[in-house]
C-alpha cells in the first residue's frame, strides 16, 4: 500500500534554487504534499512561494533558527506517513519520490531511506548517504566517484544525509525529531544514529536520483561556519559518550590534530573554541547509547585517509 508523503524543504534565501526545486517536485509521479519552511530568508522567498505556489504550504519561522528547527516545524505541519527532507538546491528526477519511498513500503523495519544525489552534469556522485566511524566522524558515501559506481560498497551505510532523505514519521517522532540545539552540521548524523539505536534499518534507494546543485561548491568555509561545525563535533562527542567508549583515545588524538591543523591553516581558534563550546552545551543532557550497527569499524589510518580525501575532493570541486 502506498504511503502518504510530506516533503519538507527548509529555506534561507536562494529563491532561484527553491523555485527549481519546487518545479521538479511538481513533476513527481508519486502524490505528495510540499511544505516549505522559511528560516527568515533575506530575500523574497516567502513572498514568492505564497504568491506563485498555492499548493505549497508555507511555514514562516520568523527568525533563522537553524536547519533542525526548520525540519521539525515542517514535520509538525504535516501528517504524511513518510517525511522526505530535501535541501532547496536539490533537483529531483520525476520518479524520485516514488523510488525513494519504495523501501519503506516494502519493509516495515526500514525507518529511513537514502537516495542517490549527483553533481551537476550527472557524471559524478555527490553523496549516497553517510558513513560514520566509531568516533562519529562522518563522510558522504561515494562522494566524487563516477556514477557507474553507484550502489557499490563504500563503508557501512549509516543513513541518509540532510541534503535528501526519507524518514518514517512514526520513527522520526519517536526518536525526538532533529536536535534543535544543533544549529547546523551533523544534525543529520545525530538523528540517523538515534533511529538506528531504536532498531530501525536504513535502506539504500539508489534508483531514486536527484541532482544536488550546490554539492560541488564547498569552497573555503568562514570562521563562523568552522566554529559551528566544531561545535557540533564537541556536542556529539559528549552526547553520545564517545570519550567513554573504546574509541576515546583515537577520538581525542584525531580531534586534537584537526584543531591544530585548522589553527595553522586559518590562524584562529574557531575549531578549538567551537569544540569546547559544544562539549559544554551537552553537559547534563541525557547521554545517547551508540547503536549496535550502522557505524563503520574502520581503523585510524582509514579515518585519516577519508579526512584527507574528503577535503581534497571539496577543494577540487
pTM for the model stands at 0.93
pLDDT band at 18 (very low <50, low <70, confident <90, very high): very high
Looking at 188, 212, 236, the residue that finishes a domain is 212
User: What pLDDT is attached to residue 30?
Assistant: 98
Q: Are residues 82 and 205 in the same domain?
A: yes
Give the model's pLDDT for residue 217: 45
Cell numbers for 274, please give them: 567551537
Where does the pLDDT of residue 305 fall: very low under 50, low under 70, confident under 90, or very high at 90 and above? confident
Residue 312 has pLDDT above 90, yes or no: no
Average model confidence (pLDDT) for the chain?
92
Answer yes or no: is pLDDT of 309 > 90: no
Each residue's pLDDT tens digit, 107-136: 999 999 999 999 999 999 999 999 999 999
pLDDT digits (tens, 9 = 90+) for 50-65: 999 999 999 999 999 9
Rounded distance between C-alpha atoms, residue 229 and residue 274, angstroms:
7
pLDDT, residue 28, reads 98
CATH code of residue 100? 3.90.550.10
Domain residue limits at 9: 5-212
Same domain for 88 and 236?
no
Residue 218 within a domain: no
Of 178, 212, 246, which residue sits at a domain end? Answer: 212
37, three cell numbers: 519552511
Do residue 71 and residue 32 come from a single domain? yes
Inter-helix orientation angle 248-266/270-281, to 10°: 140
Both 281 and 139 in one domain: the answer is no
Residue 316 has pLDDT above 70, yes or no: no
Q: How far is the CA of 234 from the CAs of 68, 239, 257, in angstroms? A: 17, 9, 14
pLDDT at 314: 46
91 or 315, which is more confident: 91
16 and 62 co-located in one domain: yes
In a domain, 217, yes or no: no
What would the 3-class secondary structure string for 155-180 be? CCCCECECCEEEEEHHHHHHCCCCCC
Q: Model confidence over 162-216: pLDDT tens digits?
A: 999 999 999 999 999 999 999 999 999 999 999 999 999 999 999 999 999 985 4
Q: What is the pLDDT of residues 219-274, one digit of tens each?
A: 457 888 899 999 999 999 999 999 999 999 999 998 898 899 888 988 999 999 99
Per-residue confidence (pLDDT) for residue 254, from 0 to 100: 87
Number of structural domains in the chain: 2
Asked if the structure places residue 51 within a domain, the reply is yes
Distances (CA, A) of 98 to 4, 27, 31: 11, 12, 9
- Same domain assignment for residues 18 and 51: yes
Amino acid at each position: 500500500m502506498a504511503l502518504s508523503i510530506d516533503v519538507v524543504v527548509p529555506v534561507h534565501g536562494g529563491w532561484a534554487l527553491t523555485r527549481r526545486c519546487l518545479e521538479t517536485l511538481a513533476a513527481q509521479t508519486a502524490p505528495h504534499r510540499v511544505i516549505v519552511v522559511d528560516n527568515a530568508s533575506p530575500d523574497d522567498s516567502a513572498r514568492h512561494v505564497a504568491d506563485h505556489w498555492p499548493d505549497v504550504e508555507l511555514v514562516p519561522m520568523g527568525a533563522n533558527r537553524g536547519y533542525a528547527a526548520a525540519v521539525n516545524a515542517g514535520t509538525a505541519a504535516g501528517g504524511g506517513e513518510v517525511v522526505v527532507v530535501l535541501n532547496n538546491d536539490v533537483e529531483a528526477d520525476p520518479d524520485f519520490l516514488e523510488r525513494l519511498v519504495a523501501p519503506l513500503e516494502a519493509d516495515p523495519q526500514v525507518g529511513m531511506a537514502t537516495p542517490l544525489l549527483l553533481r551537476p552534469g550527472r557524471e559524478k556522485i555527490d553523496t549516497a548517504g553517510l558513513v560514520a566511524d566509531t568516533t562519529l566522524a562522518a563522510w558522504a558515501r561515494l562522494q566524487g566517484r563516477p556514477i557507474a559506481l553507484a550502489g557499490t560498497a563504500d563503508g557501512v551505510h549509516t543513513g541518509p544525509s540532510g541534503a535528501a532523505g526519507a524518514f518514517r514519521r512514526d520513527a522520526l517522532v519517536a526518536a525526538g525529531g532533529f536536535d534543535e540545539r544543533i544549529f547546523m552540521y551533523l544534525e543529520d548524523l545525530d538523528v540517523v544514529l538515534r533511529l538506528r539505536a531504536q532498531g530501525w534499518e536504513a535502506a539504500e534507494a539508489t534508483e531514486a536520483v536527484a541532482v544536488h546543485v550546490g554539492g560541488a561548491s564547498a569552497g573555503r568555509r568562514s570562521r563562523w561556519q568552522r566554529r559551528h561545525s566544531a561545535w557540533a563535533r564537541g556536542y556529539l562527542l559528549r552526547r553520545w559518550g564517545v570519550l567513554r567508549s573504546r574509541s576515546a583515545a583515537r577520538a581525542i588524538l584525531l580531534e586534537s590534530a584537526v584543531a591544530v591543523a585548522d589553527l595553522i591553516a586559518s590562524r584562529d581558534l574557531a575549531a578549538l573554541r567551537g569544540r569546547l563550546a559544544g562539549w559544554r552545551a551537552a553537559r547534563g543532557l541525557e547521554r545517547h547509547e551508540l547503536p549496535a550497527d550502522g557505524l563503520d569499524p574502520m581503523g585510524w589510518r582509514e579515518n585519516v585517509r577519508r579526512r584527507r580525501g574528503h577535503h581534497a575532493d571539496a577543494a577540487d570541486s
